[in-house]
Structure 1
């Protein structure tokens, strides 16, 4: 029972393997599917007795197949039998992986756990400790904070524990290890301070995800703050917990605007979503407290890799990145402390000045200025960084 569904098939038996391959090819050739994500993919890496295989025949044949090797191949690299293969899934340099380590590291850092700064910095740069070998690339790391399993983003900042009574299993289902923080009150509340912090934390998680090298993945509904009322195992529900609520999209326009504009910023700026791992000249860390386990403040400059033109944004004509923004280095800062930080802004490179793009502590729409339209900030100026907040500046 490596799948958790009551049985497992021997995927590496010749006839079973053939059936799987034939099915996948049909989906590509007849229905024009451009890729596959394999749930609990470690199951596919076991022999008839359940022993892990270093070179599973099914995965090898998919990887070398003339049709399937040209599709997007994504593994969920673990199973219910404990075969955890994050960073180690047999990949032939073409398989991407759900990076479960990224999820856990970002959840811990953003909610303020100590001793996470080094790991968070590594995750922010594309998890080179897991994927920088052979011909693997940052985009082989599928980064996520939430997915269909577990809490939604709003529930991640609203509940310390699961509330799965609606599932009819007496609370036995769903994970008990959620790495969540309710910001002071369990569940829904009218406390404006708590609700404000929750919105800020949702923006902080989204900001960390979209600033990270790798392939970002978001759960449907997180862009407007979908809640499942603390239920972290909703697969069996066909109701408001799992439906896309388009009315909420309009009601939660602040979070939707922030998420949408930040996604477009990532898509257009060459310092983000890079094809190669960062080298020494690609990032500057403004950091002297790497070994201080109590330090929860991190800042760095991502250097723009090349000079490019302005380009057009056909998806959102109203969000056009100007050339000076596109060619500018990015200064990022994350404060996961429960107190304000007085931060001396480092000098911008090449005689430029910093212009603020993001401050998650500011109310919308001021939290996101797409082309950094605020007044410039001089080097050495002290910027008061709010508790549990994130910042981005662009050099112009």
Structure 2
């Protein structure tokens, strides 16, 4: 891509064009962190304001434990330390040692015994085993660790950015046409027998033609990948024989996680990721990354010293300073919070994002705990914070898909659904909870349900946000799968080794009478009907639909709603079995959404009447086809209503989340003809086009726990009055 960012990343500094290097490399070194390769060698640049000295340590690619050279770096402007090493090529391993004061009370934790990663490393080698040698100290008031962890520490790797993209272009799918599909790179293909074994669970496996064919046939447009930045496995999980499967424990904001690559060398791993993106783009699929800039794997003061803590703890992390000195502000639940309001951390985040767009060609990002990243220098959420303002004016980042998880934890201002500025979209937790409550049969949930399927104007319309600001989801990696949502009334997280204390206790789920798997045909029939009704609701709601991978196939996690540490069959997609009826229904409901403009509205409903059709953009109906009165919305027992959507042609949606069938008088007279599109009480749900024609005025029976969609074939859709 011919972007300005790519230009400044690749261009050498003028004096570095010379064959003979000047004595002071800082004079010609790039004023940007990271490694810059030149024909003669490489510039190494790292930020560390409070350090008193910095060493660059080089390690053998053939034996990462073997240190081959150590170079004392030179301090330059902007708190950047520089070193030039000749004859360096792609694959060179390196790390930094930072010298400086050990003053934990002042948020200064320098310890030259710890080899540090380059925060700008494009690839990372090794897998730390949680050994005590990684730890900086045991607490805020003790001496720094004396153990030199150089041999076993993670190493940064030099990578060449040249790659043949073969004319790759971003699909640039409009938000109104976007259908997001969240998946785990490893878990999606780990058990796929149609993929060569060596490629399963890898970037290359995700680019396999069989995978792409499945995704295209399903109809999704955009793959949202759980974190692919290099991450660390928590020590407490390793001690239990578990790992951080989801990957929300970042240590490399530029480096693709090395365990997800079939290639073993760093350059090959980066190229494999690019090849995956290129293949997905060639088939018209977007790639959205779930990114974790709110915290790192270094945790609190008891955690490992890997990069930020050792380079400049005060500038990279948020702290509070009290009578007992500095302490980490833990608004992420992970021990620390990256201080995106400081120039160094803000620059790193922005540089990382631009790198993934310009060099790796991704199409957008979903920001984990985005409220933390959007906090200002006073640690308060601010829609005009340094980060949000920088992204809004950035010529690269402002043009890609940006999705916020609009909350963090532990603060009064932590929940910000509807609070982000344009061009952001937001995961709508209100949608998830309201739709779940409605179909679970909760009393008093109908009025809230109607707001959510109309795009949540109450959350987004107050500051002129568009209707497509809401990313609507029912399930995600974090929580029950769709199958488990209708199969378990309670969570079952025993496999996590925390006595079922972890995970959300408020799931708005139902068991349909039996907790877990059953052979009872009535229970299984009800569960299938509810899953179809939930998926149909998602695909006919105003907003951007989001599907959790496997929900279209009946994937289960056996009631585990917090499978973050389950890198095994519990989390992996099982391709040997699957609910073919649900898969067929999901394909058809996605295709229906794409074909009906009313389901892809870009504006909120306003109630205005279309003179051509005589219909308002949405008309809410009682079962007798009269208008639904305002006060009737709040009847706690209301479980049955219709929504008539104006369009070409008009569409009628009927919802019955009650336990009994209900009759609905179809709008119109004898000259009006409706055709049934789908009925979630049927198996598989959809009917052949125009195979069931029904006259206006006829009472149509809507089964319990079902949703029905009809299309106006001919005649007027006359609506009676109410009240």
Structure 1 position 59, deviation (Å) = 1.3
Deviations 1:118-168 (A, max 9, x none): 111111111111112444212110000101100000000000111011111
Quick one: distance in 1 between partners of 2:459 and 2:430?
A: 9
How far does residue 370 in structure 1 lie from its aligned partner after superposition? Answer: 5.7
> Aligned partners of 1:74, 1:104: CA distance in 2, in Å?
19
CA distance in 2, matches of 1:206, 1:73: 24
Structure 1 partner of 2:345: 16
**TM-score, length basis structure 2:** 0.49
Whole-Å Cα distance in 1 between the matches of residues 620 and 662 of structure 2? 17
2:702 matched to which residue of 1? 385
- The partner residue of 1:361 within 662, 681, 691 is 681
Structure 1: gaps (5+ residues): 305-326
Pairing partner for 1:120 from 436, 449, 455: 449
C-alpha distance in 2 between matches for 1:181 and 1:16: 44
Confirm whether residue 202 of structure 1 aligns to residue 518 of structure 2. no
**Matching residue within 692, 705, 721 for 1:375:** 692
The answer as to whether partners of 2:404 and 2:424 remain within 8 angstroms in 1 is: yes
- The answer on 1:341 being equivalent to 2:662 is yes
- 2:553 counterpart SS class: coil
Correspondence list, 1:279-290, <5 A: 279-280=606-607, 281-287=616-622, 288=628, 289-290=632-633
The answer to whether the Cα contact below 8 Å between 1:159 and 1:181 also exists between their aligned partners in 2 is yes
Query: Does the 8 A contact of 1:265 with 1:370 survive in 2?
Result: no
Counterpart of 2:496? Answer: 167
Distance across 2 between alignment mates of 1:129 and 1:361: 31
Task: Verify: 1:7 aligned to 2:327, yes or no.
Answer: no
Deviation at residue 190 of structure 1 after TM alignment: 1.2
Structure 2 SS opposite 1:242: coil
Task: Give the TM-score of the pair, scaled to structure 1.
Answer: 0.89
The structure with the greater share of residues assigned to strand is 2
Matched, 1:88 2:419: yes
Superposed displacement of residue 369, structure 1: 2.2
Deviation at 1:184, TM superposition (A): 0.8
Alignment-derived partner of residue 644 in structure 2: 301
Tell me, what secondary structure is at the counterpart of 2:567?
coil
| Distance in 1 of aligned mates of 2:519 and 2:478 | 28
Computed over aligned residues only, the root mean square deviation of the Cα atoms, in angstroms, reads 1.6
Question: Residue 433 of structure 2 aligns to a residue in which SS?
Answer: helix
1:238 match: 567
Say whether the 8 Å CA contact 1:143–1:215 is kept in structure 2.
yes
Matches within 5 A, 1:169-318: 169-249=498-578, 252-280=579-607, 281-287=616-622, 288=628, 289-304=632-647
Structure 2 gaps, min length 5 = 1-329, 608-615, 623-627, 714-723
Q: Which structure would you say has the larger RCO, counting Cα contacts within 8 Å and 6 or more residues apart?
A: 1
Offset, 1:340 = 1.4
Q: Superposition pairs for residues 1-150 of structure 1, below 5 Å? A: 1-47=330-376, 50-82=379-411, 83-89=414-420, 91=421, 93-150=422-479
In 1, Cα distance between the equivalents of 2:573 and 2:519?
A: 24
1:314 corresponding residue in structure 2: none
Secondary structure of 2:402's counterpart equals strand
Q: Structure 1 residue runs of 4+, over 6 Å off?
A: none
Q: Distance in 2 between matches of 1:262 and 1:271?
A: 14
Aligned residue for 1:55, secondary structure, equals coil
Distance 1:271 1:44 in 2: 35
Q: How many residues align?
A: 366
Q: Any idea what SS the aligned residue of 2:700 has?
A: strand
Contact 2:669 2:697 in 1 (8 A): no
How far residue 354 of structure 1 moved from its aligned partner, in angstroms, is 0.6
Distance 1:135 1:69 in 2: 18
CA contact (8 A) 1:165 1:171 kept: yes
- Cross-structure match for 2:157: none
Q: Residue 686 of structure 2: SS of its match in structure 1?
A: coil
Shift of 1:21: 0.5
Q: What residue number does 1:322 align with? A: none
Alpha-carbon contact 2:376-2:386 (below 8 Å) kept: no
- Residue 348 of structure 1: CA displacement? 7.5
State how far apart, in whole Å, the 2-side matches of 1:348 and 1:210 are. 29
User: 1:310 maps to what in 2?
Assistant: none
Larger CA deviation: 290-299 vs 196-205: 290-299
Q: Conserved in 2, the CA contact under 8 Å of 1:143 and 1:214?
A: yes
Residues in 2 aligned to 1:165 and 1:48: alpha-carbon distance in whole angstroms: 40
| Contact 2:491–2:505, Cα closer than 8 Å, also in 1 | yes
SS at structure 2 position matched to 1:254? helix
**Native 8 Å contact 2:406 2:417 kept in 1:** yes
Q: Distance in 1 between matches of 2:688 and 2:375?
A: 48
Q: Is the Cα contact below 8 Å between 1:261 and 1:370 reproduced in 2?
A: no
Structure 1 residue 54: Cα displacement:
4.4
Q: Is the 8 A contact 2:383 2:419 kept in 1?
A: no
Q: Is 1:331 aligned to residue 652 of structure 2? A: yes
Max Rg structure: 2
1:39, distance to aligned residue in structure 2 (A): 0.4
Does structure 2 conserve the Cα–Cα contact (< 8 Å) formed by 1:41 and 1:78?
Answer: yes
User: 1:224: how far off?
Assistant: 0.8
User: For residues 410 and 339 of structure 2, what CA distance do their matches in structure 1 show?
Assistant: 14
Instruction: State the distance in 1 between where 2:539 and 2:485 align.
Output: 18
Kept in 2, the 8 Å contact 1:356–1:393? The answer is: yes
The alignment partner of 1:193 has SS state of helix
